[in-house]
Structure 1
Amino acid sequence: MTRLKTDSIVVGRNESLTCAESGVADINADERSQSLPWNDASLIGIAELVCGLGTDLNRGLSSEEAFARLRADGPNELRAVLPVAAWRRALAQLHSPLIYLLVAAAAIALAAWWFEGQGHDGVAAWPLDAIVIVCVILLNASIGWLQDAKATQAVAALAKMTIATSTVLRDGALTRVSNTELVKGDLLVLAEGDAVGADARVAQSSALMVLEASLTGESEAVLKDAALLQGAVALGDRLNMVFKGTAVAQGTGRAIVTATGMQTEVGAIATLLECTQDAPTPLQIEIAYLGKVLGVSVLLISCVVVAIALLISETYSVASVMKVLLMGVSLAVAAVPEGLPAILSVVLAMGVRRMALRHAIVKQLASVETLGSASVIATDKTGTLTRGEMTLQRVMTASGRSDITGVGYAPDGRAERGGIPLTAGILRDELEAVLDAGSLAGNAQLRRDDAGVWAIQGDPTDAAFLVAQYKLKAGAGTTGIDRLERIGEIPFTSHRKMMSVLVADRSNDAAHLLFTKGAPDVLLAHCSHVRRGRATVPLDKTLRSQLVSDVETMAGDALRTLAVSYRKLSPGAQVPADRVQAAALEQNLEYIGAVGIIDPPRIEAAQAIAQASHAGIRVIMITGDHPRTALRVAVDLGIVAIDAPVLTGIEIDALEDADFAVAALTTSVFARVAPSHKLRIVRALQNAGNVVAMTGDGVNDAPALKAADIGVAMGVTGTEVTKEAARMILTDDNFATIVMAVREGRGVLDNICKFLRYLLSSNLAEVLTVFIGLVAAGIIGLKDAASASDSTVVLPLLATQILWINLVTDSGPALALGVDPIDEEVMARTPRARTQRIIDAGMLRSVIETGVVMALLTLATLDLFLPGGLIEPIDLLASQNPFSLEVARTAAFTVLVFTQLFNCFNARSETKSALRGAFSNRWLLVAVLVSLLLQIVVVNDTSLNLAFGTVPMSIAQWSTCVVIASGVLWFSEARKFVRRLHTSFTGLTPKP
């Protein structure tokens, strides 16, 4: 057990306390730690905390004690997500009802092949249909696995491989250790540029400013000090705490580690992330539903057809029963679109590839379609909608207002007044004085790297003055007044709300100047004069009122306001060590002016939001920033009107679930929210039927990203936790890329609908051809053909012919439809509702109508080429090739193939003519041509005639097949014409 020490310790503002003086008994450390309110160390006094953790502010922990605690508590790291084994990722690709259906079809086909072999001598040597189905399944799994592996590699490439370290005080000496080795009680020594390695209670600070955007969403650096909080506050307002994953922007400090690993605030978010389940995408739900429906349908149809065949059969020999069962299997194969999973994977993979070329990495294939269905984009503000670069936009001096154009840290812009470049004069003199003073009274640096990219080191607000100064001086390359040299500083504190620097003028040894920057209301109280041009005038009541009004106007525009002033001091002046005496220098100041600073919105984000709105997508902002700042950015980007409501985290907590559900649908700006609030917002939107895309870059966004239908992480500024939780990563951190991805997703969804429309109608035509042909065998002449061939049951099509259609004729055109050009009007339509099925009533009606027409045309051909049916044979057709069952089957087989090829062009739209843009998809033309040539080969090649039961046909017979098959095209054109008339009268938005 570690005994507590009673050595004197330094806390807060040079206060000295001992354990005895603070009322903390000299007790066992473990017993003491159990009695402290560790859920919020911000409410614990420094002396009490030091005694409770058994540490020392002058020496820190001993190396032995740190090692013992590390061994007891474990390393300071988040619970790692175990990598999924390659074989598990491969099996995951087979987890689909449609795949299960194909496996069952392959098994049945294999069993039928084996049983047929028991009763027939001429059985095929190989179960071709079963083998092909298995190949399709493996192809689908391979495509999905390869895409998953690519996405994993891309995400890994984005991760930073550096090992974070921290400076700690151990054994009375400063040492650098890996963040994973930090333990409770360690004394962190913080300096500008350091990453905070663990949650810690600030014990000492000097102008310590910490960037917490990744955790809280707050865009501005937060001032930290050791003052004890009087009550529980939100995470972003715990000013005496620093948190793991944040960064020091300015100043120095020391902090006592109070939580490590999963006990940190980041760890709490990681725990919340673990409890958040990945939601299936709308496409996954739809494909699962389709697989179940097809499975039931196949079973019912096969059973009904087999039962009818047995009922109408006149004999019940083993051979005839086996033939009927084989027919049932072939019908099951015909009803299942074997190529659908593979085609779906290929189409999605192509969409993923196109998106990757445009800076969007999709980790899951089905997420491409999800983007197309998105009805709400819930986005973070800082770094996503805004640049994450504090920019000085406005300056108010005694002579009026000046504006600084340009955004970000690149010093591209100019000084203006009323849109006109600012020229030499009083106002420009005042502006230059403001920017010079503000740049001197700061600690940031502005640099340009070898790639020409501008970056800062230090506090972003200080950097804003430097950038504006560069712009005013037209890129003169100065970061301050070169002749002035800093010789002292009075640091910023939350109590004083200002800082000062003492500089010496090297061109005049007798001149010393004090520049002060701080909150305008505080600074004005220390001023007695004001600068006007290059002159100094007394600060009377009227002028003071004007300056206050100027500041209030900027604050009302959601600008962060700061004021600057200066004072001439006597030669040789120095900053006293005593802070009270130092503060005396900050009196009788000369007010120079005030500035308005903001994290500017991205220009491209405003354009993307306008496009999203046009596409019927609602954009909402969810941020941890101040409500007024959030509203200003939302208004500038066109998300809401200026009088729109803003809901804060505290207000969200006060709402019941029913009231919050209403608020989530009517509020588009949420501010000062915690990770749990973001998660609640996403779920409320989903419960209302929305498909939610959630964007973000901070750790605080991760749980909501995982719960959303598709989480979108920022690849450049995003944390690794966020990237792990997201389903898509933007490599350019550009909100506009999301809208591009939505357009791509909608295009993929349209194409999925096209090839589904094509495949399902084709498969239905095959099923109906066999079913109606069997039931109506006597009407179309098949019964007579059966009698002539001494058989009890004759099928309209052979199993091998059906398999040929499914594998060759269907696959190529369907895949070509999957890469059809995106419709120009795709972003003018409203999003697909979560409850709306891909195969809706309209598509189902289209599939049934087209399938019926294709089957009837096929059966009509069979009747035409057989004697004894409804249609009298044409002698001209039999002049070169006499009619027979083989010729009739070949003609019907060919017509069914040709109707599907004509139907390729029909399936491109439910309303637009197939002739419109018929040549815009070259891949479809190639696929149709290849399918046509293959059909000619399978009919005319003697080596294939035996395998597929075909015979060569004459030119007249070929021509007749083409004419009959074209009927499906003219039927579809008539139906689309009627639908266009209907939509024009009703005003409804037509489908693609």
Structure 2
Amino acid sequence: MAESASLAVTQADPTLIPAEQVALEAQVDPEIGLTAAEAAARLERYGPNQLTAGATEPAWKRMLKQFADPLVYLLLAAIAISLIAWAAEGAAGVPVDAIVIALIVIANAVIGFVQENKAEDAVAALADMTAAHSTVLRDGKLVDLESAGIVPGDILVLSEGDAVGADARLLTASSLRVQEASLTGESEAVTKDVAALTSQVQLGDRLNMVYKGTAVARGVGRAVVTGTGMDTEMGHIATLLDQTKGDKSPLELEIAKISKVLGLLVIVIAVVVMAAVALINGVRSVGDAVDILLMGVSLAVAAVPEGLPAILSLVLAIGVRMLAGRNAVMKDLHSVETLGAVSVICSDKTGTLTKNEMTLREIVTASGRVRLSGIGYEPTGEVRLVGRGEEVMAEVHRVIGAGVLANNAQLEHVGGQWQIQGDPTEAAFLVAERKIEGVGDLLAQYQRVGEAPFDSERKLMSVLGHNPELGMSHVFTKGAPDVLLERCVEEQVGGEAHALTDQRRAEISGQIVDLSEEGYRTLGVAWREAEDLDAEGGFDEESEHDLVWAGFVGIIDPPREEATAAIKDAHRAGIRTVMITGDHPVTAAKIASDLGIVEGDDHPRAVTGRELDALDDEGWRETVRTVSVYARVSPEHKLRIVDALQEQRQIVSMTGDGVNDAPALKSADIGIAMGITGTEVTKEAAEMILGDDNYSTIVAAVRQGRVIYDNIKKFIRYLLSSNMGEVATVFLGVVLGGVIGLADPGNPGATVVPLLATQILWINLVTDSGPALAMGVDPEIDDVMARKPRGFNDRIIDSHMWSRIIGIGLVMGIVNLVIYDLSLPGGLIGGLEHLAPAGQEFAVARTTVFTALVFMQLFNAINSRADVTSAFSHLFTNKWLWLSFAGVIVGQVLVVEVPALQQAFGTASLDLLHWAVAVGAGLVVLGYEEVVKLVRRASARRA
């Protein structure tokens, strides 16, 4: 058993002692962190940082649960009745019916058990894919790892949007606010402080601690881990998690409702059929009564697809795994239903519609500009000067130096490649610094002693840098140029600061617009002396005033080539793309035009957050209905855009990466978090995580979601129509058999029953599992992106599908009645009865109907693969379907031709002509559906 994961750090209450002492007792250097070897040893000693799951239900219990179904209870009762009747009649021979039904019940339970296990395994694998990550300091370097790998003594590095991975004592905190509602119920984020407390207090008042399961709402900090796993505050209340039950999805509720309605309907039909048989044939013995009862029970069981929920879960699980293989990780199986119905994709620009290869290319200052060559994070390139040499370079050094100081990214050369850790925009400054000679000399003069982290509302980030040689401190700020310019009173010109006039402000604003129109993302940089500030006295955004404008940079992030094609594909599918970005409106409009987001408009309008704030409710509704490009918007604007679109009956997906995007993602029908740049809080709020942060992956996921939804419709239509065929065969055979003069040669005057109970259950066993599951992984047949998104209130089983289900069921029943008529003496047609051995006419006729129904259902599976496309299109693209067919056919041949199985299922050997009739019956079903599809295609062309 793992040792308590809190004892390793300190025996004392960590809130009451200085942070340095906590780190000392944890045997960790706060500047270096644990070594990899020590972390591995502690992980072995204390175990993974995970909450202990509730006791796993043993396999035998899960197997027994497969029998906890009303339909299974009916079959068990039928077995008991059959055994009682067998015993009452002298217990002669073997109770074949009871044994066969029992074996079928067990086989169904095994199939359900296997399917359920596979679905659970898929869900567990998805949980691993979406596991929370944390940043820790190991061997002096920042390391991103699964939170389960955190150990006592680790140094957590916290920033806005992080999910806190373990309980920890704060070492440093800068404007750090943590959302602790999951533990305390307090809705407001708590401002943290590193000072030791003077006495023990309640959880919500422990300001120098952070806790597992909470989220960083703002700011940055570092903390030493004091508790992991079940030794966290979240671990103490982990038992509550076992009591949480998930709500059923709309699809699950719809299927449950249909199963109930269908079950009641079939019970009525079964009672009518049993009554008709009893009245017409009479009940002369206990055996007759048992046969009638078994037939009615079997009919009811076969008509209701009790395996549908298990198949549905497994198909969804397989579909979600396929999506994960394409970099779209769904956190919930049933979100796939919604994914396929998305009608609006609200997407960020950076990294999603663009490559996220942030490259700083332009530096614009008072005396001119500098252009840098090179692409991506490789720090090589030429510096081309435009302007007055020495003055420009002095200004450029100040711009890049301030941008690097106000920076939390890392640039490393690993495995022959340059890699970044942190924000790509900040990393662009680090790359530029390595290209420009002399900037490093400026950076070496400063020690960073304070930080006002970036905030999406104020759109700025600042640091306080101290120069020990000069004994001076400076504020360095970077952020949105238009916002930052308003806070500046002077401008850097060469080595001096000049007053910033209105004329000069207008010139700078014009330069920003010019660069934005070329597709650059612009970022302003400013500074000021900070004699009024010191690290001990605290440093925050209140210090961002009276700044000196140093200049601004142009960062290029070219559009993804595949995004253009994806947007076009989305438009074809009736899906509208809305771009929402914090960039300058001119940049946003240029990128939107290049990508084709607004079709037929070379100069699309980008609405800004300020413009949105000026709108009334009606203006909001009209803007959201017509505008597809938004710039300089806040998280509150994103949330309101989502809500307004949903009010217009749209199914909305929303992408996001920052903590403030979480409300909009939570509100959207499908929240999509960035897998690379997204924060842990955003990932927790989302239904889907993009592994590559790529817009085209969203569209591909929507396509796959539509395919999965289509496949669900396919196997539901297949199962219900096939089961309807079984009901129609028995019902029409019993009700109309006597009317057209069919009779049992061995029992003159008695009506014929086309199928035995064991035969009905066999059909249900072999055709309701393999083929249905294979259809659940069918490739795309109909062009799913050639149609509009399904309606807000559309049902998976609509009136059109019901008409198809009933139509196919009736065709099966009528064709089988014809086969029965062909195979028995009397009736309207006749012609095959003489081929059966004497005394075997009835057994051969019933076996032919039995076999014909199996082939009809196989051909029905081929029909059900497409709604309008011919069954002969893409006929051999699903190998699993054909493998399942082979298994069904082999099983049917054995049941018909093997003597022992003939006795068990009441069958007789068939000659080639009867086999041909059975296969031909399946072709009739295929032909019927081909005619229906032909009519639908013709109607679609006329429309």
Q: Same fold (TM over 0.5)?
A: yes
The 5 Å alignment of 1:39-78 reads none
1:87 to 57, 65, 69: 57
Question: C-alpha separation between the residues in 1 aligned to 2:718 and 2:136?
Answer: 55
Matched, 1:594 2:552: yes
Query: In the alignment, what sits opposite 1:904?
Result: 861
Give yes or no for contact 2:394–2:494 (8 Å, CA) kept in 1.
no
Question: C-alpha separation between the residues in 2 aligned to 1:279 and 1:647?
Answer: 39
Give yes or no for contact 2:512–2:522 (8 Å, CA) kept in 1.
no
2:634 to 656, 666, 672: 672
Distance 1:366 1:780, change over 3 A: farther
The 5 Å alignment of 1:148-159 reads 148-152=120-124, 154-156=126-128, 159=131
* Worse-superposed segment, 314-323 or 82-91: 82-91
Distance 1:539 1:913, change over 3 A: closer
Query: In the alignment, what sits opposite 2:203?
Result: none
SS at match of 1:562: strand
Query: In the alignment, what sits opposite 2:713?
Result: 753
Distance 1:463 1:911, change over 3 A: closer
Query: In the alignment, what sits opposite 2:253?
Result: 285
Query: In the alignment, what sits opposite 1:925?
Result: 882
Write out per-residue CA displacement over residues 345-382 of structure 1, whole angstroms, 9 at most, x where no aligned residue: 44333323322333344444434344223334456778
Shift of 1:861: 0.9
Distance 1:528 1:775, change over 3 A: closer
Distance 1:253 1:726, change over 3 A: closer
Query: In the alignment, what sits opposite 1:302?
Result: 270
Give yes or no for contact 1:881–1:954 (8 Å, CA) kept in 2.
no
Query: In the alignment, what sits opposite 1:128?
Result: 100
Distance 1:981 1:959, change over 3 A: same
Question: C-alpha separation between the residues in 1 aligned to 2:424 and 2:57?
Answer: 48
Shift of 1:796: 1.0
Equivalent pairs, count: 830
Give yes or no for contact 2:259–2:305 (8 Å, CA) kept in 1.
no
Question: C-alpha separation between the residues in 1 aligned to 2:673 and 2:62?
Answer: 24
Write out per-residue CA displacement over residues 91-144 of structure 1, whole angstroms, 9 at most, x where no aligned residue: 999999x98454444445445434543555563274433553454345335433
The 5 Å alignment of 1:179-198 reads none
Query: In the alignment, what sits opposite 1:550?
Result: 511
Question: C-alpha separation between the residues in 2 aligned to 1:451 and 1:311?
Answer: 84
Q: Considering only CA atoms, is the larger Rg found in Structure 1 or Structure 2? A: 1
Give yes or no for contact 2:356–2:557 (8 Å, CA) kept in 1.
yes
Question: C-alpha separation between the residues in 2 aligned to 1:928 and 1:661?
Answer: 53
Query: In the alignment, what sits opposite 1:448?
Result: 412
Query: In the alignment, what sits opposite 2:11?
Result: none
Question: C-alpha separation between the residues in 2 aligned to 1:855 and 1:191?
Answer: 67
Query: In the alignment, what sits opposite 2:429?
Result: 465
Distance 1:353 1:377, change over 3 A: same
The 5 Å alignment of 1:90-129 reads 100=69, 102-117=71-86, 119-120=88-89, 121=92, 123-124=95-96, 126-129=98-101
SS at match of 2:57: helix
SS at match of 1:741: helix
Query: In the alignment, what sits opposite 1:980?
Result: 937
Question: C-alpha separation between the residues in 1 aligned to 2:507 and 2:893?
Answer: 90
Matched, 1:868 2:826: yes
Query: In the alignment, what sits opposite 1:844?
Result: 802
SS at match of 1:930: helix
SS at match of 1:86: coil
Give yes or no for contact 1:374–1:617 (8 Å, CA) kept in 2.
yes
SS at match of 2:712: helix
1:894 to 829, 851, 864: 851
The 5 Å alignment of 1:199-238 reads none
Shift of 1:984: 0.7
Shift of 1:564: 6.7
Distance 1:838 1:107, change over 3 A: farther
2:341 to 373, 384, 393: 373
Q: Which amino acid is 2:928 matched to?
A: F
Distance 1:730 1:905, change over 3 A: same
Give yes or no for contact 2:75–2:297 (8 Å, CA) kept in 1.
no
SS at match of 2:870: coil
Distance 1:143 1:319, change over 3 A: closer
2:842 to 885, 906, 923: 885
1:143 to 109, 115, 118: 115
Give yes or no for contact 1:276–1:703 (8 Å, CA) kept in 2.
no
Q: Which amino acid is 1:375 matched to?
A: S
Query: In the alignment, what sits opposite 1:614?
Result: 572
Query: In the alignment, what sits opposite 1:739?
Result: 699
Q: Which amino acid is 1:960 matched to?
A: V
Matched, 1:815 2:815: no
Distance 1:982 1:878, change over 3 A: same
Distance 1:947 1:138, change over 3 A: closer
* Worse-superposed segment, 426-435 or 892-901: 426-435
Question: C-alpha separation between the residues in 1 aligned to 2:790 and 2:770?
Answer: 28
The 5 Å alignment of 1:434-583 reads 434-441=395-402, 442-443=404-405, 444=407, 446-451=410-415, 454=418, 463-470=427-434, 473=435, 480-481=438-439, 486-487=444-445, 521=485, 525-527=489-491, 529=493, 546-547=507-508, 549-551=510-512, 559-563=521-525
Matched, 1:797 2:758: no
Q: Which amino acid is 2:923 matched to?
A: S
Write out per-residue CA displacement over residues 193-226 of structure 1, whole angstroms, 9 at most, x where no aligned residue: 99999999x9x99xx68899999xxxxxxxx999
Q: What is the aligned-residue identity percentage?
A: 39
Query: In the alignment, what sits opposite 1:829?
Result: 787
Shift of 1:529: 4.9
Distance 1:109 1:191, change over 3 A: closer
How large is the Cα RMSD of the aligned pairs?
Answer: 6.3
Matched, 1:351 2:313: no
Question: C-alpha separation between the residues in 1 aligned to 2:654 and 2:244?
Answer: 14
Q: Which amino acid is 1:911 matched to?
A: V
Shift of 1:772: 0.7
Write out per-residue CA displacement over residues 848-891 of structure 1, whole angstroms, 9 at most, x where no aligned residue: 2222112211111110111110103258x628888711121122
Give yes or no for contact 2:336–2:705 (8 Å, CA) kept in 1.
yes
SS at match of 1:839: coil
SS at match of 2:364: strand
Query: In the alignment, what sits opposite 1:945?
Result: 902
Distance 1:369 1:662, change over 3 A: same
Distance 1:601 1:146, change over 3 A: same
Shift of 1:970: 2.0
Question: C-alpha separation between the residues in 1 aligned to 2:859 and 2:162?
Answer: 67
Question: C-alpha separation between the residues in 2 aligned to 1:897 and 1:461?
Answer: 63
Shift of 1:770: 0.5
* Structure 1 portions without partners, runs of 5+: 1-54, 64-78, 167-177, 182-187, 216-223, 227-240, 255-263, 416-421, 506-511, 568-574, 580-588, 987-992
The 5 Å alignment of 1:319-358 reads 319-358=287-326
The 5 Å alignment of 1:622-641 reads 635=592, 641=604
Give yes or no for contact 2:370–2:385 (8 Å, CA) kept in 1.
no
Question: C-alpha separation between the residues in 2 aligned to 1:144 and 1:688?
Answer: 38
Shift of 1:945: 1.8
Question: C-alpha separation between the residues in 2 aligned to 1:591 and 1:727?
Answer: 42
Distance 1:663 1:157, change over 3 A: same
Shift of 1:768: 0.7
Question: C-alpha separation between the residues in 1 aligned to 2:832 and 2:122?
Answer: 59
Question: C-alpha separation between the residues in 2 aligned to 1:276 and 1:648?
Answer: 43
Shift of 1:935: 2.6
SS at match of 2:706: helix
Matched, 1:642 2:605: yes
Give yes or no for contact 1:430–1:592 (8 Å, CA) kept in 2.
no
Question: C-alpha separation between the residues in 2 aligned to 1:599 and 1:456?
Answer: 16
Q: Which amino acid is 1:854 matched to?
A: M
Distance 1:249 1:401, change over 3 A: farther
Query: In the alignment, what sits opposite 1:184?
Result: none
Shift of 1:341: 3.8
